[in-house]
Amino acid sequence: MGQVGDMMNKAFWVLAAVTALMFAYAPVAIAGAPYESTMLLVQKIFYFHFSTWMALTAAVVICGTGSAIYLFKGSATADRLAFAAAELTVVFGAFGLVSGSLWARKAWGHWWQWDNRLTMALLLELVFIGYLLVRKYGGPGAEKLSTAMGIFGAATAPFVYKSVDWWRTIHPKTSVMRSLGTTSPEMWRVVWFCTFAFLLLFTLLLVVRVHLEERRAELDRLYLEAEG
């Protein structure tokens, strides 16, 4: 067990170093990527904007699945994963909304537009803020209550993704991304480099956050032992 723990520790720090290097290189890669013809410089927000929503999708899926597993099987690990993922959803979502807003101000002229994709994304963020509020203020048994938020939030997420395809909105459609491999391979490479870096960062943060929950659970156990 000690050997596995050491290996995991080492793996964590190796991954952390790799992530740091990737993020250090990212601005260079982004600067070298070709300009998009209509939006020029400000479009370069896209690389992190898209990546953060990818990380958010991973977080939402983990939160939803973890919540469901905790609700039906009672697994404490699943609950910790769900909690950590919910917090990361809020963090990455906040960056997604702010970066999108800054980009929109330059590209569309408004900070915010009530089109479907943005509205649904904002709602998703609110759902997971609600998750965190339930955890904090729900009193005893709040873990179970928050699973409802996690599961419903995860169920709403596919609508966020598909909303731009069903209704013509001001936000770019999903087909833009899917055809980027053919329209601009250089952009494609940078996008996936950034996305990979973000997913690595997400994994690292998730591990650290779950570690915090595990220590908290350990502390609770010690308190119970001390009283009993």
The interface with another protein within residues 121-180 (CB under 8 A) comprises 123-124, 126-127, 130, 133-134, 137-139, 141-142, 144-145, 147-149, 151-153, 155-156, 159
Site for another protein in 183-212 (CB under 8 A): 184, 186-187, 201, 205, 208-209, 211-212
Report how far apart, in Å, the C-alpha atoms of 216 and of each of 1, 45, 138, 183, 202 are.
Answer: 21, 37, 17, 49, 21
**Judging by beta carbons within 10 Å of its beta carbon (0-12, 13-18, 19+), is residue 124 exposed, middle or buried?**
buried
* Site membership for another protein, residue 83 (CB under 8 A): no
Site for another protein in 10-49 (CB under 8 A): 13, 16-17, 20-21, 23-28, 31-38, 40-42, 44-45, 48-49
Instruction: For the beta carbon of residue 91, count every other beta carbon within 10 angstroms.
Output: 18
- Closest contact distance (angstroms) between CB of 219 and another protein is 5
Q: Name the segment binding another protein (CB under 8 A); options: 54-62, 75-83, 96-104, 172-180.
A: 96-104
* Site membership for another protein, residue 98 (CB under 8 A): yes
- Closest contact distance (angstroms) between CB of 112 and another protein is 14
Q: How far apart are CA 111 and CA 168, in angstroms?
A: 19
Q: How far apart are CA 123 and CA 145, in angstroms?
A: 19
Give yes or no for a contact between 26 and 191, defined as CB atoms under 8 angstroms apart. Answer: no
- Closest contact distance (angstroms) between CB of 81 and another protein is 15
